[in-house]
């Protein structure tokens, strides 16, 4: 008798548990039917510039027949409509469309499309009447041809800096340098061809700095800017390394100095700076006064005239 009672109690508890599970399932199904629920296949899509890209917004559950669907673009914290009242608007007008039920397709993506996009669905007759999903879109832009600066001639043993810059690519470009069409490694010690070179290469800024150039650094150089969307290169430029001969420089300076002195002396001689100084009226020395001759200075007759007198 006692065993039968215990069995009955266990049966009732099992039925109670089953009833609870059924209630929970029915409640869950009820709320799913009366709730709008969205999902996406990719919340961080990317595309190269001028390609098509799809922002998926899938309605997983809804009971309202004609829900209100809107898309907003959020850039720098400011939202703006790109799909409103069943029309593409804003900066996507003319190059986007909605694929049923709520997926946004951009047919010609540009770099300005990189932003966050929010899909919003309102269902008035659903118990949960609103849902939204956020999608972060990245448009990758291929680098343009970089601007390269390579010194044309550098004295051996001195420092030299080669520069490369490009500011249009997205994500930000990384830089590579090439010498005679062969890539220059980040560390010269990793290559037998560059082990004797003394340089530092910054792939972030695009600078290639030689602390002391060698004769074998004389070559053609070009730079490549690259990112996930592609790469671009500048044309090759020649850097010539020349040797400095100190003795030859000193000799050349002496020759120039001597030449200048010679030309100066010739010029002075032609101008008469070295001729004997002529006598003038101011430094004229009168001859000794002869007996019976009286010298008188007049204005009309020049410097001097003499006047004879006879003594009887």
Q: Which of 127, 221, 135 is nearest to 180 (CA)?
A: 221
Q: Dump pLDDT digits (tens) for 200-229.
A: 999 999 999 999 999 999 999 999 999 999
Topology (CATH level 3) of domain 145-240:
Immunoglobulin-like (2.60.40)
The dihedrals phi and psi of 113, each to the nearest 5 degrees, come to: -80, -10
Task: List strands edge to edge, sheet with 68-75.
Answer: 46-48, 130-140, 115-122, 68-75, 78-84, 87-88
Taking the C-alpha atoms of residue 235 and residue 129, their distance in angstroms, rounded to an integer, is 60
Q: In the structure encoding, which two tokens stand for residue 200, read together?
A: 């530092």
Taking the C-alpha atoms of residue 96 and residue 103, their distance in angstroms, rounded to an integer, is 11
Same fold, 35-138 and 145-240: yes
User: Is residue 25 over pLDDT 70?
Assistant: no
Q: Which of 37, 55, 254, 194 is nearest to 127 (CA)?
A: 37
pTM for the complete prediction? 0.64
User: Is residue 241 over pLDDT 90?
Assistant: yes
Residue tagged 């694929």 (tokens): 99
Let me know if domain 35-138 sits in CATH 3.40.50.920. Answer: no
How long is the chain? 312
Q: Dump pLDDT digits (tens) for 41-92.
A: 999 999 999 999 999 999 998 888 889 999 999 999 999 999 999 999 999 9
Cis peptide before 163 (omega within 30 of 0): no
Q: Which pLDDT belongs to residue 280?
A: 47
Q: Dump pLDDT digits (tens) for 73-86.
A: 999 999 999 999 99
Using a 10 angstrom Cβ sphere, with 0-12 exposed, 13-18 middle and 19 or more buried, the burial of residue 83 is buried
Do the Cβ atoms of 80 and 73 come closer than 8 Å? Answer: yes
Q: Where are the domains of the chain?
A: 35-138, 145-240
């Amino acid at each position: 008798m006692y065993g039968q009672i215990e069995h009955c109690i266990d049966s009732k508890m099992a039925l109670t548990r089953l009833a609870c599970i059924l209630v929970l399932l029915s409640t869950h199904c009820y709320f799913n039917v009366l709730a709008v629920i969205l999902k996406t296949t990719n919340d961080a899509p990317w595309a190269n510039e001028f390609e098509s890209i799809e922002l998926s917004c899938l309605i997983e559950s809804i009971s309202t027949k004609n829900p209100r669907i809107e898309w907003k673009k959020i850039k720098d914290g400011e939202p703006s409509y790109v799909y409103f009242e069943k029309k593409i608007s804003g900066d996507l007008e003319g190059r986007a469309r909605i694929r049923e039920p709520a997926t946004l397709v951009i047919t010609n993506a540009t770099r300005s499309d990189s932003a966050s996009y929010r899909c919003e669905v309102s269902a008035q007759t659903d118990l949960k009447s609103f849902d939204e999903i956020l999608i972060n879109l990245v448009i990758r832009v291929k680098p343009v041809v970089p601007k390269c600066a390579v010194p044309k001639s550098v004295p051996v043993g001195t420092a030299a800096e080669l520069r490369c810059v490009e500011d249009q690519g997205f994500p930000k470009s990384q830089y590579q340098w090439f010498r005679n069409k062969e890539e220059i490694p980040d560390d010269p010690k990793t290559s037998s061809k560059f082990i004797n070179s003394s340089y530092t290469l910054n792939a972030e800024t695009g600078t290639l700095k030689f602390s002391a150039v060698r004769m074998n650094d004389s070559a053609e150089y070009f730079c490549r800017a690259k990112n996930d969307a592609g790469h671009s290169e500048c044309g090759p430029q020649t850097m010539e390394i020349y040797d400095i001969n100190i003795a030859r420089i000193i000799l050349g300076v002496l020759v120039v100095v001597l030449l200048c002195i010679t030309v100066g002396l010739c010029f002075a001689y032609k101008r008469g700076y070295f001729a004997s100084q002529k006598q003038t009226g101011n430094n004229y020395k009168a001859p000794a006064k002869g007996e019976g001759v009286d010298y008188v200075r007049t204005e009309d007759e020049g410097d001097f005239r003499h006047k004879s007198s006879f003594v009887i």
